Amino acid sequence: MAVGKLPRITNIWSRMVSRAEGGWETQVVIEADTPFAYTLPNSTGPITLCIDTKARAVMPEGAIPVYDGLLKTVTLQQTDAETARVILEREHPGRYTVATCNTLPARLIIRLDRAPLAAILAGKKIMIDPGHGGTDRGHRGPVNLWEKDVVLITAAKLAALLGAAGAEILYTRSGDTGMDGPVRIRRARERGVDLFVTLHTGFSPQTWVGGNRVLYNPNEPRSSLLAELVRDALREQVNLKGKTLRPDPVYLGHLGGIPGIAVEIVTISNWVEEGLLRMPRFHEKTALGIFNGILRWLVK
């Protein structure tokens, strides 16, 4: 086949999908203007999968960040005049299947089973604590968003990710109800949770100050590592400056031996960051960052 007649790869994208028969998968979709030949390893495969296609890349080469808990990056390389290689870098090995769709555009769909994540989270009891609530509205942004409302949105996204991966989710609140801090901590201790995650926003009288922050329980030795991993995973998802990690003896310290972190998802007093809170995609990516950090902590 002459190089000029090769199929042209025009787009690569990924998504998480709930399967009708149960379970979740990550789908990687390679699109081209015409059907193309490809080679792929066996159906279990290593962490890194290389797909060689008889095609020419007309989209930019390089790495596409994904970081969805299972898939780190997708990289496109034109290795020679007739071969475009797609590299899937995963966090965990596992099974996958492949399907083709010879429509326009022609598609190769790699379906990565997310079961390895369930093996990590199955049976874990995680309490999610959206801060404030009821008459305690928390901090207010310059365009009148309230902390108590925005953290509920992120909490629901985080619960969906953790629940889909097999964790048992407990809430301190799932609606606009108030609850004192000691009551929240007592519930976590009484239920014997494996992890406590409280969600807040930061605040500063100086509206140019911004960024997210992760605090941790100083009385549980692995909580500082959890905070570090969540901070790093948030950097992969959202373009915010991470503030210095900090112990929180006043609230989280009362958890005793329960691992716990507090995530200030933005500085709500910052005009730009309050605007981010109006975007559903920002809450999704923030929740995904927290989710990834928890996963990496559990396998350490």
Q: Is the pLDDT of residue 185 over 50?
A: yes
Beta-strand pair 168-171/125-130: parallel
pLDDT tens digit string along 74-104? 999 999 999 999 999 999 999 999 999 999 9
Which stretch of DSSP H or E encloses residue 271? helix 271-276
* Selected residue with higher pLDDT from 20 and 77: 77
Report, as an integer, the average pLDDT of 50-54.
96
What's the chain's average pLDDT? 95
The answer to whether 217 touches 279, Cβ cutoff 8 Å, is: no
> If pLDDT is split at 50, 70 and 90, which confidence band does 1 have?
very low
Q: What is the pTM of this model?
A: 0.93
- Sign for the CA dihedral angle at 135, 141, 143, 148 comes to negative
pLDDT tens digit string along 220-264? 999 999 999 999 999 999 989 888 899 999 999 999 999 999 999
- String of DSSP letters for 276-294: HTT-HHHHHHHHHHHHHHH
SS3 call for 295 = helix
d(CA 165, CA 161): 6
Report, as an integer, the average pLDDT of 167-186.
97
Report, as an integer, the average pLDDT of 206-214.
96
> If pLDDT is split at 50, 70 and 90, which confidence band does 4 have?
low
Residues of the chain with CATH 2.60.40.3500: 3-113
d(CA 114, CA 16): 9
Report, as an integer, the average pLDDT of 190-198.
98
d(CA 92, CA 70): 6
Give me the pLDDT at residue 5, please: 86
The answer to whether 107 touches 65, Cβ cutoff 8 Å, is: no
Q: Is the pLDDT of residue 42 over 80?
A: no
Assign a CATH topology to domain 3-113: Immunoglobulin-like (2.60.40)
| CATH classification (class only), 119-298 | alpha beta
Q: Could you give the percent of the chain with pLDDT greater than 90?
A: 92
Residue with tokens 């990289």: 75
> If pLDDT is split at 50, 70 and 90, which confidence band does 70 have?
very high
> If pLDDT is split at 50, 70 and 90, which confidence band does 43 have?
low
The answer to whether 179 touches 132, Cβ cutoff 8 Å, is: no
Residue 46 vs residues 56, 79, 89, 92, 165: alpha-carbon distances, Å:
25, 21, 9, 8, 21
Residues of the chain with CATH 3.40.630.40: 119-298
Give me the pLDDT at residue 48, please: 93
Beta-strand pair 125-130/195-202: parallel
